[in-house]
Structure 1
Amino acid sequence: MNKFKYYFILLVATISLFSCSKNDNAVSEPLRDYSVQYATDLTDIEEYLQTYYITVTEHPGFQDDQDVVFTKIPDGGTQPAIWSYKDNAGFPKLLSRDVNLHGITYKLYYLLLREGVGQSPCNVDGVLASYRGDYLERQAVSNVTTLTVNKFEEVKNPQTILSLYSTVPGWGETFPQFKTGTYTSNPDGTVSYNDFGAGVMFLPSGLGYYATGSSSIPSYAPLVFSFKLYEIKRADQDADGIPSYLEDINGNGYMYDYRNTAYYPTTLTNLDDTDADNIPDFLDVDDDGDNYTTKLEIKNPATGIAYPFADIPICTSGKKNFLDSTCH
């Protein structure tokens, strides 16, 4: 038994020593500069937009409605590049918006195939959406570098609501530009969606996975997502009884937490922060800073009286209205 314990301890020590040595000698790439990487990503994305054309399926009421296929324009080809739809008056329409993140301003291109007829999510809501994801990559063959497109994921029949607040930043920046549609239930238990928003987002790696990548996506890869927005689920991040989209004070569809210094290394003014405490209202349980939680200040629409909580001090004339700082 003693000899067994001796060899067991020796084996463990050897493995530990080997592991430590291996880790000590490992070389990890320093994090790339965001602005330098963005310039590279933007070049790749704009080349893609200028050298590929799209084919869109128009098939209302069926699953393949608004399916989009991307094809490289052959030498001498006359197909209209995606770039030709830039700021188009009709559809498809290639648009862009500026996104401030990592201390730089990203240009986020997105292709509007169809806007939709329902409601738009805000960037902290949940969405039910089908999508296909591709990543762009430079590959060198015979000293010639070529931009390649690689599929990494596709979801045609979504069953799960995805939070725009926890997905890659580019999703939260793009989906608010689209609207849901309508749907009908079929006798076989399936659902048919119509008039939904459909489009494509072209994300620099800084709005995607950046240095982390994933099991199927290399680090620093620009991403292309084609998608269809079927339904949204309103979120309430601070559980104060007010859906977060109603705490979007300036009504632009976007709310940010500027305390995240990795995303926002410089000080920015939060326009959705009622009491200016640097906590956005959608994460602030006391939006107006009066030491009464917002949840306690919500009035019952049927009676006009705030919901009672006996263990919390209240104004003599009733609870404060969460929309202002006066007693009611």
Structure 2
Amino acid sequence: MNKFKYYFVLLLAGIAIASCSKKDDDDTVVTPLRDYQEQYNADNDSIVKFLKTNYIENVTADFDVKISKIPAGGTQTSIWDQQTYKLLSRDVYSDAITYKVYYLVLREGSGQSPTNTDKISAAYSCYFLDNALVDSSYGLPFTANLFPYANANTVVEGWSEIFPKFKTGTSTTGNDGVITYADYGAGVMFLPSGMGYYSGRGSIPAYTPLYFTFKLFDLQRMDNEYTSTSSGRIFAGDGVPDYLEDLNGDGYLYDFRNTTKYPNPPKELIDDTDGDGIADFVDFDDDGDGFTTRFEITKPTNQVGWGTLNSQPFYFGVSLYYPWEPMVDNPATPNVDETEPRGIPRRPTGDLTNPADPVESANNPRKYTEEDYTATPRKRIHLDNSYPIKIK
């Protein structure tokens, strides 16, 4: 276990878009970025060589890890060949190429996995491939946004790709305010420069592969729909957290509107219900029916808190929108009742409002049945462009 004070350190800043050199006193020459594929090939060679010529010297009980170079004539088992900790890789489509990103699982963790758009609480140390320390959070947890378009505390792309492969742990807060974390995920990620600081940052030269040791303590689910204004992005959300808009359930969501970075995205990575080119997690109208998602999942005013259902007292829940699935109260929060007996409904299947009129219409919709809120599976109304019925 580790103990930490409950405060956070700001994360590293974003990536510079180009490197510059002075030609003379009057002209500044912008150096074009290197070809991503060629640089990745070189970086990958360096990383594979590192994995085959270095070994895990020590992993502490708190999952602090030390990696060292195998000396000449040494008999240590390389990271590449050792079997104690899983060396895995993930293929990442970005910059119009596919990266292979290697990572070590020291411990998976026991809690939930973030998506690549959530906010995390983590700790890290960053190293060059000669094992020289570049930067570290000194074991202190800090918050970071994995979503690259967040307004603050964003991380290098490699973090967004590898952290979802791990899980959070548990935490307890003592009377002295000290938070104790246990069973958290811990690992090492080996990043080609395209997944890190491609054009350099501070003491990190351009085109430098790096590795990070890290621990994942906690996460915050995000709802990242945003609008762009002259003063920046305004995040309003649509009422459905990102992880529930991950249609293929792979833990990753991408905004493929950047066609320079993503000119030909694999179909299996696209989470876009209405096919309008805007992924559901950044789309205010997921099914493209002209009604916003938030409007479609907002409860009627007489179905918030205590009310009456079938002439009996009924607790509809405190949320102004339906959850994905019905929820029970969390006993760990005694001052809040999270009970939500109904999930986002499907198109109603009950009797017509006016049985004398046999035609379902905007003026004569069907009534909701209890199964419309709870049936599994069900196509929820914010993903069903046939409802609400439009007035013709």
Could you tell me which amino acid in structure 1 is paired with residue 127 of structure 2?
D
Aligned: 1:263 with 2:261:
yes
**How much identity, in percent, do the aligned residues show?**
49
Q: For residues 93 and 165 of structure 2, what CA distance do their matches in structure 1 show? A: 17
Aligned to 1:325: 385
Is the CA contact (8 Å cut-off) linking 2:93 and 2:265 kept in structure 1?
Answer: no
Report if aligned partners of 1:111, 1:199 keep a CA contact under 8 Å in 2. yes
Question: Which sections of structure 2, spanning at least 5 residues, go unmatched?
Answer: 1-21, 149-154, 226-236, 304-314, 322-360, 369-379
Give the conservation status (yes or no) of the 8 Å contact 1:197–1:229.
yes
Q: 1:306 to 1:236 in 2, by over 3 A?
A: closer
User: CA–CA distance in 2 between the matches of 1:277 and 1:156?
Assistant: 45
* Contiguous gaps of at least 5 residues in structure 1: 1-18, 60-64, 137-147, 308-313
Q: Tell me the matched-pair count.
A: 283
Q: 1:69 aligns with which of 46, 66, 69?
A: 66
Instruction: Indicate conservation of the 8 Å contact 2:102/2:190, yes or no.
Output: yes
TM-score by length of 2: 0.67
Does residue 286 (structure 1) correspond to residue 289 (structure 2)? The answer is no
Q: Does 1:208 align with 2:196?
A: yes
Number of the residue aligned with 1:145? none
Tell me the distance in 1 between the aligned counterparts of 2:58 and 2:176. 27
Displacement after TM superposition at 1:158 (Å): 3.7
Q: Is the 8 A contact 1:296 1:306 kept in 2?
A: no
How far did 1:20 drift? Answer: 10
Alignment partner, residue 142 of structure 1:
none
Superposed CA offset, 1:252-278 (max 9, x none): 000111111232133553520000000
Q: CA deviation at 1:109?
A: 0.2
Find 2:245's aligned residue among 228, 244, 247.
Answer: 247
Change (3 A) 1:291 1:33: same
1:123 maps to which of 107, 116, 126: 116
- The question of whether the paired residues in 2 share the 8 Å contact of 1:197 and 1:228 is answered with yes
Once residues 298 and 259 of structure 1 are traced to their aligned partners in structure 2, the CA distance between those partners, rounded to angstroms, is 26
Deviation at 1:156, TM superposition (A): 3.2
Structure 2 residue 49 is the aligned partner of structure 1 residue 47: yes
* Residue pair 2:246, 2:252 contacting (<8 A) in 1 also: yes
Change (3 A) 1:283 1:158: farther
Contact between 2:286 and 2:383, CA under 8 Å: does it hold in 1? no
Larger helix fraction of residues? 1
What is the letter of the counterpart of residue 241 of structure 2?
A: P
In angstroms, what is the RMSD of aligned CA positions? 2.7
> Is the 2:107–2:186 contact (alpha carbons within 8 Å) kept by the matching residues of 1?
yes
Question: Is residue 2:137 matched to residue 1:155?
Answer: yes
Q: Distance in 2 between matches of 1:267 and 1:177?
A: 21
State the distance in 1 between where 2:320 and 2:240 align: 14
